[in-house]
Amino acid sequence: MNDPQMEAARRHLAARVAAVTPPDGLEAAVMAEFDRAHRRRPTRILAMCAALAASLLVGAILLRPTPKPAAPSVESQAFYTIPYTAPLEPYERVMVVQEQVPVTELIAAGFHFPATDPTGTMRADVMVSQDGRPRAIRPVAFDVSDRSSQ
Amino acid sequence: MWRTLPAFLKELEVPEVPAAIRVIEPVKDSSDRELVDRFRNGDRDAFSAIYQTHHATVFRFALYMTGDRERAGEVTQEVFVWLVHHPAAFDPERGDLPAFLGGVARQMLRRRRREDQRWLPLNETAAGAAIPAEIAGSEDADELWKAIATLPERYREAVILCDMEEMSNEQAASVLGCAVGTIWSRLHRAHELLQRKLQSKVRCSI
ipTM metric: 0.72
pLDDT band at A69; cut points 50, 70, 90 = low
pLDDT band at A78; cut points 50, 70, 90 = confident
CB-closest option in A6, A13, A23 to B69: A23
Amino acid B48: pLDDT? 93
Tell me chain A's radius of gyration from C-alpha atoms.
46
What separation in angstroms does the CA of B194 have from each of B12, B144, B156?
A: 12, 8, 10
The residue with greater pLDDT, A150 or A47, is: A47
Cα separation, B201 vs B206, in Å, equals 9
Amino acid B78: pLDDT? 94
Contact status, residue B78 vs residue B22, Cβ threshold 8 Å:
no
Contact status, residue A29 vs residue B77, Cβ threshold 8 Å:
yes
Q: Nearest to residue B57, comparing CAs of B164, B136, B139?
A: B164
Q: Please answer yes or no on whether B77 and A16 come within 8 Å at the CB atom.
A: no
Is A12 in the B-facing interface, judged by CB distances under 8 Å? yes
Amino acid B12: pLDDT? 45
Q: Nearest to residue B160, comparing CAs of B197, B114, B124, B194?
A: B194
Average pLDDT score, chain A: 80
Q: Please answer yes or no on whether A31 and B14 come within 8 Å at the CB atom.
A: no
Q: How far is CA B149 from the centre of its chain?
A: 12
The helix/strand/coil state of A119 is coil
Q: Please answer yes or no on whether B81 and A3 come within 8 Å at the CB atom.
A: no
Amino acid B77: pLDDT? 94
The enclosing H or E element of A125 equals strand A121-128
Average pLDDT over residues A63-84: 70
Inter-helix orientation angle B44-66/B69-85, to 10°: 140
In chain B, which residues have pLDDT < 50?
1-28, 125, 127, 206
pLDDT band at A134; cut points 50, 70, 90 = confident
CB count in 10 Å sphere of residue A96: 11
Amino acid B189: pLDDT? 94
The answer for A 16-55 residues in CB contact with B (under 8 A) is 16-20, 22-23, 26-27, 29-31, 33-35, 37-38, 41
Q: Please answer yes or no on whether B59 and A22 come within 8 Å at the CB atom.
A: yes
Question: What's the per-residue H, E or C state across chain B?
Answer: CCCCHHHHHHHHCCCCCCCCCCCCCCCCCHHHHHHHHHHHCCCHHHHHHHHHHHHHHHHHHHHHHHCCHHHHHHHHHHHHHHHHHCCCCCCHHHCCHHHHHHHHHHHHHHHHHHHHHHHCCHHHCCHHHCCCCCCCCCHHHHHHHHHHHCCCHHHHHHHHHHHHCCCCHHHHHHHHCCCHHHHHHHHHHHHHHHHHHHHHHHHHHC
Sheet holding A95-102, edge to edge: A80-81, A134-139, A121-128, A95-102
Amino acid A41: pLDDT? 61
The pLDDT > 70 percentage for chain A reads: 81
Cα separation, B33 vs A77, in Å, equals 77
Looking at chain A, which residue has its C-alpha nearest residue B139?
A9
